[in-house]
Amino acid sequence: MSIDEEEGQGIGHNTRKEALDVSSNERAHHAVHVSKQNGALAKLRNLEARLDARLGIESEAIVRKRAEDKKDVPWTEELNMALLWASGTMNTSCFATGFLGWEFGLSLEQAVLITVFASILGGVVTGYCATFGAAMGLRQMSVSRYSFGWWPNKLIAILNCIQQMGWAAVSCITGGLALTAVSDGHVSLILGIVILAAVALLISFIGLNAILAYERYAWVIFLVIFLIIFGETGKQADNSTPASINGATRSGAALSLIAIVYGSSAAWCTTASDYYVHYRADVSRVKVFLMTSFGIAIPTSIGMLAGCVAASALNNQPKWQNTYKRDGLGYLIQDMLYPRGFAKFLLTLLVLSGINTNVISIYSASLSFQQLARPLALVPRFAWTVVSFACILALAVGGREQLNTYLQNFLSLLGYWCTSYAVILFEEHFVFRRGKFENYDLEGWNDPGRLPLGIGAAVAFGLGVVSWCMGMNQTWFVAPLAKAIGDNGGDVANELTFVATALVYLPARFLELKIVGR
């Protein structure tokens, strides 16, 4: 099926011809207008328009935001560049990830250093990608069309859908465990997962304004909770016992933990611009970069370091260790904090942290679904939030029994492809666009004929995938190079992916420009 046929099924020849003569933004509005004339999609779009008018439900979300569509934003609202991520990352998932260093056999000191370093490294990757949102007025998956082209970028959108739903599933599991503990087992883990996902669905359903309003303040509660966890578990922390592994095995464990922590922060790079399109195009890119990078790195470190400290305390508290292994994270938190009534209160609040991540994930997943194909873009965003909600429930319920294995495998995989993604955007912008947004044909964001074919990006990304397979260290697969590091292997997939993508994209994109011309 041709592009025209895909875009205009049920549309007359004259209408298609007219659509091709107008700007890309007008084409999007025209497609919406046609869809309203008949059929189920028409009813959904009309419903979306009515909800937008009455309740502020965000409609036509992926359409480019032009300068005239934007208003001056006060400095207090610019704080959302950091506070949004603080709320999304300071959660029970990060706390659970902090236990992995202890499980790998690393000392507290080693786990702390790796957590801080890798969180900053991953935050920098996301901070860079965030700088495109305000300048281009496009969502992250639309931004990457200028590197990956029209068709290869659809694969990136699919990966992003999977990634966001996976993140939300992890948050549902960890929050559900806490809710089960609070209720003394009366609320099942499955019911807890459903509750967390449903509340996040309601907020994401409304759109960006509701998300920014909620996330601006939610982080305060969880910062206080993690400070209390530091205070009540810190005196039991074991900072004297050395790592239980040595030599190459210890190096392998350190590399694997770096991959996991880095992946948890870098994974936001495929959604960052989604939350910056309403800022003026001339907003300082340095400000955006710094506030996003440290808005992710610092809160992520706080949650994970609390997990590192609590995990080390298990060495001094056999009862806590038995609770963790037998009953899970929620019951452990309840045992560690005192008095018991206060612990239950904190756990009740901590349950809400899973909602913060889910809100961001569901919203960005819905935007990515809309960019898989033109017909899917006609399905209202709020409908895709419901689809994302259903997928998240399926993932969370299916992965609820093996939380740490789920975290290790999933978070590592996130970092792999996000590394390739960020490297390609970086080289495209600074080498081929000379670091200037005037060199982007922003009017052609939704026109395949005005975008790159994406051959260079596809080749570089494909070789990046080969690099993952050579260096990954997962429960289900230990790659040849990873297997050579110690007894348990060491994850070097991100390092290999970075080098392979960076070296291949430059010549591949140069040839694409020379032969194709765009």
Which domain CATH number covers 315?
1.10.4160.10
d(CA 135, CA 114): 33
Q: Report yes or no on 409 lying in a domain.
A: no
More confident residue, 30 or 124: 124
More confident residue, 325 or 24: 325
Q: Report yes or no on 491 lying in a domain.
A: no
Strand partners of residue 473: 478
d(CA 248, CA 482): 11
Give the residue-averaged pLDDT of 251-273: 95
pLDDT per residue over 423-475, tens digit each?
999 999 999 999 999 999 999 999 999 999 999 999 999 999 999 999 999 87
More confident residue, 415 or 493: 493
Number of independent structural domains in the chain: 1
| Residue-by-residue DSSP string for 134-148 | HHHT--HHHHTHHHH
**What is the pLDDT at residue 207?**
82
Please give the structure tokens belonging to residue 105.
Answer: 């056999």
Query: If you average pLDDT over every residue of the chain, what do you get?
Result: 87
Quick check: helix, strand or coil at residue 478? Answer: strand
Claim: this prediction has a pTM higher than 0.75 = yes
**What is the pLDDT at residue 403?**
66
Q: Report yes or no on 120 lying in a domain.
A: yes
The domain in which residue 176 lies consists of: 68-403
Confidence of residue 404 (pLDDT cuts 50, 70, 90): low
Amino acid identity, position 247: G
pLDDT per residue over 88-108, tens digit each?
999 888 999 999 999 999 999
Q: Report yes or no on 190 lying in a domain.
A: yes
d(CA 5, CA 212): 38
d(CA 250, CA 179): 35
Q: Report yes or no on 507 lying in a domain.
A: no
pLDDT of 412 over the 70 cut: no
Q: Report yes or no on 322 lying in a domain.
A: yes
pLDDT per residue over 484-500, tens digit each?
999 999 999 999 999 99
**What is the pLDDT at residue 34?**
41
Q: Report yes or no on 97 lying in a domain.
A: yes
Min mean pLDDT across 134-143, 159-168, 493-502 is at 159-168
Give the residue-averaged pLDDT of 143-152: 97
Strand (E) or helix (H) holding 125:
helix 108-136
Are residues 360 and 212 in contact, defined by beta-carbon separation less than 8 angstroms?
Answer: no
Identify which of 329, 289, 271, 307 has the alpha carbon closest to the alpha carbon of residue 141.
Answer: 271
Q: Report yes or no on 162 lying in a domain.
A: yes
Phi (first) and psi of residue 478, to 5 degrees: -115, 115
Please give the structure tokens belonging to residue 303.
Answer: 């949650």
Confidence of residue 511 (pLDDT cuts 50, 70, 90): very high
More confident residue, 29 or 293: 293
Those residues whose C-beta lies under 8 Å from the C-beta of residue 308, and which sit 6 or more positions away, are: 98, 99, 101, 102, 108, 111, 112, 115
d(CA 35, CA 107): 60
**What is the pLDDT at residue 407?**
62
Amino acid identity, position 104: F
Q: What are the helix (H) ranges across 183-207?
A: 189-206
